[in-house]
Chain A
């Protein structure tokens, strides 16, 4: 019965927005399903496993042999999705009483069946399933479940279900392959943790806490090392005889999107660094890097226009030697020695910043103007490299955010717990001609009480509805905090904000006094400068 169970899991995942609920659903799947089906299902959900054995056109031809064309047309027109229409309209042949296939049977049969026999094979399966099962099967064989389960979420679900730390799972994740039988044997408590040997695996990153003023007072300068916090994406590079991989902060394998980095990894080591777009040694703003993110492949032109490099922070492994237990200072010395010896292309070191007092460091932080810098990192000289966010070892000391006073224009309901609240806000500023133009969208920063108040206000002051979106009276001014303003062709205003969030509701401020577009344009960080907000508030 495994495909019907898988179909029910898929359906629940598709309709469930809440992360905790998704974790519970996945946990129940791991607990209840046998091997190898639970692993195949897991791989299919994360799209680690993609069949693409059948084309949608084949599925369509199949259903047309059993369906009146006029009824098909009306049905497809109504439902709007090919796979779903087929799943719903499929009329099982009378008298079929074979059991539905398991995921293992499907995997095996798809590999072994000659192409010409695929339609008959798939039709036979469809006859054994109900509508949900048919939809799951069609999605599976045409290669796209799209249920929003990332590999990271899957690992957290494995951790919560098994009680093993997620870091321990991450360390072996990239060393095991679907259907993950050795992994499940370990998580079931029936075997040792699988040994990845030389295969390139992800080691969970060490993370920092935001530094508050209260923490700052307690820091003695001699204990701490400072570096710039570069505004790119945190990556881990791992290379050796077993292969090369580039991992994102969450452990996603992003090697395919950055072939030039992979090509430069001609060494045997594991490194921690920041992936940046660099031109002639200068770091470009984050918007440049954004052009390269979330892509499965990359063109030669993109590599030329937005060339990437890695600024190295740390050395975790030198060949087989695990350095993570060493103090930062010792690792740093090893990193510098390693970099001098190996001198890899497209990589440089993140420099240590000398300072005598925390005050001096604070002055440096406030004076940092480049768009490529988010602030400072403080690392204890004697701290080992530990997974996760351990308090007191690393601090991130971000610059103060920029702010702008903007007018609430549209509101949309949130998801999950917030599905009854208008919690997503689009806000705008005044253009020269007196028109309000949207500059961004935020869905955080307010308190629960403020959310309730805003929700009530929005319902009472709606002037227009576009599906789930409400347009509201111009009546509320938000102080919006953000990290940077960037030029954008996608927005009517020509500007996009990085990390916008609601800092305050300015109930005291009339909407006419909200900021103007040229004030925001003056904050643009195109390369050289970061200008301080100087709004009229």
Chain B
């Protein structure tokens, strides 16, 4: 039996990010490269200007919408979940990561040695993203955004029920929910629809374009309206979705006695939630919580786990108690956008 090469001999950590040497491609590179495989469309993973980009069809559409035609790869190659491709002897395929629409784990096999790069992921249900699939492997590369045992996300349905109870209690006020524009926004809308909220949902201008991309990809979001042009009275009792930084700032003054809410995993910790004047913290995250991280790292049965970004110390410690070898990669540039960053107190106006 041939000796299987250790993954570190062919998957390298470089200043630009993870590099599959025999395949000649980078994964979520932080610098402009020739060949990039992109896990999902958030801007800390998907950067503009690469020559060749491979990703799911949805991720490519999201990147194009965000970056503009031609900036999201001079050539784009779409790959379906589960569809395999061989690049210079490296077998490559994608599995759903459950993070946002189109998000994928990047699975690679080189001479019988298998590595899976998860990108960002979650295991909780999400009507707008294909559910995470476990791919057994020899090396699992994970995120660790919420890798502390204090982060156990409650059910998102329960959190939305809180929002709807608040709307019932304050029918004159406008509930403005801070959420980032790719993923969280559409997930909230879809879940509100599931919970029976069939009234219009109003959007901050920053959220409009991405909702259109989701709709074009077949995700039904119902009646969406622009919050910016709506009359103040029309927004009584309405739900408005806006970027987290807008909910307690000047933009929100146009709303009727707004109840500022923010939907984020960070809302679990009170001090974080109190910053920025949140009155209704909703603990809804698109990242794996502590239990999901540990369960997933065990489920893939990899003897070795690499941690890209986040609270790697706690995760690596917990994995060592389970006999799994952990390594912190300290990849630069990840976790700088979207949910990884807690809302700033005061955006530069």
Contact = CB atoms under 8 A, between A and B. Distances in A.
B80 interface: no
A131 B279 contact: no
B225 interface: no
A71 B317 contact: yes
A420 B250 contact: yes
Interface centre among B169, B270, B280 (most CB of A within 10 A): B270
Most A CB contacts (10 A, CB to CB) among B150, B151, B273, B281 go to B150
Contact of A420 (B154, B248, B259): B248
A532 interface: no
Contacts of B278: 15
A130 B281 contact: no
A15 B152 contact: no
A75 B313 CA distance: 11
A24 B28 CA distance: 49
A491 interface: no
Interface residues of B, number: 38
A91 B278 CA distance: 27
B253 interface: yes
B39 to A, nearest CB: 27
B248 A15 contact: no
A74 interface: yes
Interface stretch (A81-89, A110-118, A252-260, A295-303): A81-89
Contact of A24 (B150, B169, B248): B169
B346 A12 contact: no
B257 A420 contact: no
Interface string A1-25: 0000000100110111100010011
B269 A131 contact: no
B249 A420 contact: yes
B260 interface: yes
Given A71-B318, A419-B277, A131 B152 contact: yes
B152 A25 contact: no
Contacts of B281: 11, 15
A161 B260 CA distance: 24
B295 interface: no
Contact of B162 (A8, A417, A465): A8
B10 interface: no
B252 interface: yes
B248 A14 contact: no
A75 B148 CA distance: 6
B321 interface: yes
Interface residues of A, number: 37
Contacts of B313: 74
B321 to A, nearest CB: 7
B279 A15 contact: yes
Interface in B271-317: 271, 273-274, 277-281, 311, 313-314, 317
A413 B274 CA distance: 14
Contact of B349 (A14, A16, A91, A459): A459
Nearest to A80: B271
Contacts of A8: 162
A422 to B, nearest CB: 10
B198 interface: no
Contacts of B257: 417
B81 interface: no
A248 interface: no
A79 interface: yes
B248 A74 contact: no
Contact of A74 (B148, B152, B253, B259): B148
A233 to B, nearest CB: 32
A84 B317 contact: no
A415 B166 CA distance: 19
B314 A71 contact: yes
B250 A131 contact: no
A79 B150 contact: yes
Contacts of A459: 349
A495 B311 CA distance: 48
A410 B12 CA distance: 51
A420 B318 contact: no
A20 to B, nearest CB: 9
- Among B253, B278, B279, find the residue whose CB has the most chain A CB atoms closer than 10 A: B279
Contacts of B250: 420
A519 interface: no
B317 A79 contact: no
B148 A468 contact: no
Contacts of A12: 166, 279-280
Contact of B154 (A17, A85, A130, A419): A130
B271 A68 contact: no
A408 B286 CA distance: 44
B36 to A, nearest CB: 33
B345 A14 contact: no
A67 interface: yes
A88 B152 contact: yes
Contacts of A415: 277
A469 B345 CA distance: 10
B193 interface: no
A70 interface: yes
B279 A17 contact: yes
A419 B252 CA distance: 10
Contacts of A89: 149-150
A78 interface: yes
B154 A88 contact: no
A264 interface: no
B148 A420 contact: no
Contact of B149 (A24, A75, A80): A75
Interface string A139-151: 0000000000000
A219 interface: no
A163 interface: no
Interface in B168-203: 169-170
A34 interface: no
A131 B166 CA distance: 20
A14 B314 contact: no
B149 A15 contact: no
A434 interface: no
B279 A79 contact: no
A338 to B, nearest CB: 50
Interface in A352-404: none
B169 A131 contact: no
Given A15-B273, A71-B149, A420-B249, A88 B268 contact: yes
A467 interface: yes
A459 B169 CA distance: 34
Interface of B: 148-152, 154, 162, 166, 169-170, 248-250, 252-253, 257, 259-260, 268-271, 273-274, 277-281, 311, 313-314, 317-318, 321, 345-346, 349
Given A28-B169, A84-B269, 15 more contacts: A8-B162, A15-B280, A17-B279, A68-B317, A68-B321, A74-B313, A75-B149, A78-B150, A79-B150, A88-B149, A89-B149, A415-B277, A420-B248, A420-B253, A420-B277
17 contacts: A16-B279, A21-B170, A21-B259, A25-B169, A67-B149, A68-B318, A68-B321, A70-B317, A71-B149, A74-B311, A75-B149, A79-B150, A81-B271, A131-B154, A417-B257, A419-B260, A420-B250
Shortest beta-carbon contacts, A-B, top 6? A88-B150, A419-B277, A75-B150, A89-B149, A15-B279, A459-B349
